[in-house]
Chain A
């Protein structure tokens, strides 16, 4: 293991960490923005929207993120009408392609998480709110959503880690994320695994920081449930 090469190129990896962090957090954020309305609509079985959302969720959860990313990056760019349209401003950049793929992917998984949490919200909570005279909109925003999101925390923590790991796919479409930096190091010095080990250690450090943050959040927001938060660390989002 040639640690000197890694240290000499620390800037390469620092840049990689920044790109990975950006892609992960932005796609989680936008994915959540998709998932909240979709998850609610699914839980309430909104007539026209449910089948559409079902199709979206099924497509993105049933296929590999790598292929979704390839399809958006290489697949869409083959069409001239796309290259001539406004969308090309974004699709031209590998970074945007990755962000779009990751956002849609994360949105699909988060939709399922939110749907589950809303469906398992005890009827009593919303009934009590209604009985107190809250309007339906208030019940949704002040009672249902906060309660569901709290209970979705452990599963959403898994999704965050899942997305961080999934973001390594960005390196296959020319993006210099953490893994991209590792591959560049390997290619530059003709070494077999120094870059990969460094990447692995960086991903590990970020993963466990995130896991710790979520543990604190769960302690804080799930205390009222008076149960130990579900042991989440080994589960993978389905």
Chain B
């Protein structure tokens, strides 16, 4: 085993780490949007919206992330092509990175739907009523009363989803994305030193999870009720 070989590959692995982190962050962004829409759909009480959200969360809960990613990358292009042809659009390519972000966002949006819905339900009704009785409009109530509370109650669940999401980025390498895992896999096989490369990847992921833990601990402290325990 030759540890030194890793040094030559540090620039490559760093490039992969940047791809992995961007994938995770953009995936989280999309997941947050989908999760908020999903929660809104469920809370709206509308029958169609509720059924759509249920279908969405059922698919995600039933299918492994690896299968969904393969399906979105290969099947998604067919969908994009069909929709594109319908509207007479030029060929639009669903890139590997794009497919990765879509998959990760799609999967974890379903979990965040539940996190957000749960957090919203925890907000005491009295607070909203109190705000209204003070003459605040619906939007002002949402913005100054509901959302800050929502953030507080949703944070632990959100942190949990993020930690699982980060690990999920590894499977996107299966569609040939040159992320940390994909590049380490290629390099490890080329120089026949897979052990050292995969060990490096493990250390990198441990580092990601550790850093995220610190950040979320900080946030939870900041959003905790002053003088009370966190959510």
Which residues in B have their C-beta under 8 angstroms from that of A164? 64
Residue A75 is within 8 A (CB to CB) of chain B in the complex: yes
Which residues in B have their C-beta under 8 angstroms from that of A76? 195
> Complex: how many Å from CA A234 to CA B58?
9
Q: Please classify how large the interface on chain A is, using the bins under 10, 10 to 19, 20 to 34, 35 or more.
A: 35 or more
Residue A131 is within 8 A (CB to CB) of chain B in the complex: no
Stretch from A25-33, A120-128, A132-140, A196-204 forming part of the interface with B: A196-204
Chain A contact residues: helix, strand, loop or mixed: helix
Which residues in A have their C-beta under 8 angstroms from that of B174? 172
The interface bits of chain B over 147-170 (1 if a CB of A lies within 8 angstroms of the residue's CB, else 0) are 000000000000011011001111
> Complex: how many Å from CA A237 to CA B205?
18
> Knowing A68-B202, A236-B161, A236-B164 touch, does A207 contact B67 (C-beta < 8 A)?
no
Contact status A235-B114, CB under 8 Å: yes
Output the nearest chain B residue to A238 by Cβ-Cβ distance.
B160
> Complex: how many Å from CA A237 to CA B75?
29
Contact status A166-B198, CB under 8 Å: no
Residue A187 is within 8 A (CB to CB) of chain B in the complex: no
> Complex: how many Å from CA A194 to CA B198?
32
Contact status B111-A64, CB under 8 Å: no
Chain B contributes a number of interface residues (CB within 8 A of A) equal to: 48
> Complex: how many Å from CA A77 to CA B173?
22
> Complex: how many Å from CA A171 to CA B69?
14
Minimal beta-carbon separation of A179 from chain B (angstroms): 6
Task: List B residues 45-78 near A (Cβ within 8 Å).
Answer: 57, 59, 61-68, 70-71, 74-75, 77-78
> Complex: how many Å from CA A235 to CA B61?
9
A binding-site residues for B, Cβ under 8 Å: 58-59, 62-68, 70-71, 74-76, 78-79, 161, 164-169, 171-172, 179, 182, 192-193, 196-197, 199-200, 203-204, 207-208, 233-238
**12 additional A-B residue pairs with CB within 8 Å, beyond A67-B170, A75-B194, A75-B199:** A66-B170, A66-B173, A71-B195, A71-B198, A71-B199, A74-B194, A78-B192, A168-B64, A168-B66, A179-B67, A203-B67, A207-B63
